Amino acid sequence: MAYEGLILKLDCPDQPGLVAKIAGYVAQYEGNLIEFNQFTDRERNRFFARLEIDTSGMQIGVEDFVVAFEVMGKALGGKWHFRRLPYRMKAAVLVTKTDHCLNEILWRTRLGEMPIEVTSVIGNREDCREIAEREGLPFHFVEMAEDKEAGFRRIDALLTEQQAELVVLARFMQIVPPWMCSRYEGQMINIHHSFLPAFIGANPYRKAYERGVKLIGATCHYVTGDLDAGPIIEQEVARVRHMHSAQDMVRLGRDCERSALAKGIRYHVQDRTIIDGTRAIVFED
């Protein structure tokens, strides 16, 4: 995605001829469709699409193209979103104690797998300071043990200041208050250490051990006001056996968490996700 381009995400009520209309709009101005994904939810008669457009040969300016789309978008009764490429999304990472998810994000960002710019790492403990700072990133310790609410206001202020467009809860072990879930709706991604909806809440590996499951997992999802019930972006599982203690599951589960979170962030940042109520459409790459 290093070229001059646009990503268009759209969802609207289904009607015949939608693909022709939308692709026709792009073709009319000689935009070049690099990738085109669409999905029609037959149950709800709703249409979802993602277009990746090379704009370098277009006959009109990108701004004009975006503005002029408004007529069509409104006529379709749709919601849509344009993203200019190339793009790196400003992302803040919230952590508590464990660093494996943070480490994964930093490594993949360095590698160019994730088009994000980490604005800072924010922790309610000091444990991840070193890993953040040696990557050259600011680390903000936010005290939450005494006054949780004040802590979240402080985090919110930091996010605003950093103009974070994405908030990643990378094993951040605090329940985000409803007002903050609302404010960052569709922009806050969590990794939960179970294959949801199994084992919602605290200590999922312990619960998994006690239930005697043969598969453990991790779930990357958007955060909503309902604990661990937001739209799921990606899930990963690993086999476990009777000899695996809850502690072994923590170890084995880390790999699921890293993988599911990394994929989830990548899909979000590449605008491959469209939230549709309690579900997420994901146009995988």
Interface size with its own copies, residues (CB under 8 A) = 64
* Interactions with its own copies, residue window 141-180 (CB under 8 A): none
Candidates 134, 145, 146, 163: give the one binding its own copies (CB under 8 A).
Answer: 134
Candidates 10, 196, 261, 265: give the one binding its own copies (CB under 8 A).
Answer: 196
Q: Is 224 in the site for its own copies (CB under 8 A)?
A: no
* Interactions with its own copies, residue window 36-75 (CB under 8 A): 36, 38-40, 42-43, 48, 57
Q: Is 281 in the site for its own copies (CB under 8 A)?
A: yes
Candidates 4, 156, 165, 255: give the one binding its own copies (CB under 8 A).
Answer: 255
Candidates 27, 150, 157, 202: give the one binding its own copies (CB under 8 A).
Answer: 27
Q: Would you state the structure tokens that stand for residue 239, as one six-digit string?
A: 């086999």
Q: Is 245 in the site for its own copies (CB under 8 A)?
A: yes
Q: Is 136 in the site for its own copies (CB under 8 A)?
A: no
Q: Is 214 in the site for its own copies (CB under 8 A)?
A: yes
Q: Is 235 in the site for its own copies (CB under 8 A)?
A: yes
Catalytic site positions:
228
Sign of CA dihedral 201, 203, 208, 210: negative
**Helix/strand/coil (H/E/C) assignment for every residue in the chain:** CCCCEEEEEEEEECCCCHHHHHHHHHHHCCCEEEEEEEEEECCCCEEEEEEEEECCCCCCCHHHHHHHHHHHHHHCCCEEEEEEECCCEEEEEEECCCCHHHHHHHHHHHHCCCCEEEEEEEECCCCCHHHHHHCCCCEEECCCCCCHHHHHHHHHHHHHHHCCCEEEECCCCCCCCHHHHHHCCCCEEEEECCCCCCCCCCCHHHHHHHHCCCEEEEEEEECCCCCCCCCEEEEEEEECCCCCCHHHHHHHHHHHHHHHHHHHHHHHHCCCEEEECCEEEECCC
Q: Is 16 in the site for its own copies (CB under 8 A)?
A: yes
Q: Is 237 in the site for its own copies (CB under 8 A)?
A: yes
Candidates 1, 32, 153, 177: give the one binding its own copies (CB under 8 A).
Answer: 32
Nearest Cα neighbor of 239 from 260, 208, 264, 263 is 208
Q: Considering beta carbons, is residue 26 or 269 the nearer one to its own copies?
A: 26
Decide: 187 and 166 in contact? Cβ < 8 Å.
yes
Q: Considering beta carbons, is residue 144 or 263 the nearer one to its own copies?
A: 263
Q: Considering beta carbons, is residue 26 or 116 the nearer one to its own copies?
A: 26
Q: Is 201 in the site for its own copies (CB under 8 A)?
A: no
Q: Where on the chain is the footprint of its own copies (CB under 8 A)? A: 16-21, 23-24, 26-28, 30-36, 38-40, 42-43, 48, 57, 100, 103, 107, 111, 113, 134, 195-199, 210-215, 217, 231-235, 237, 241-243, 245, 248, 251, 255, 259, 278-282, 284-285
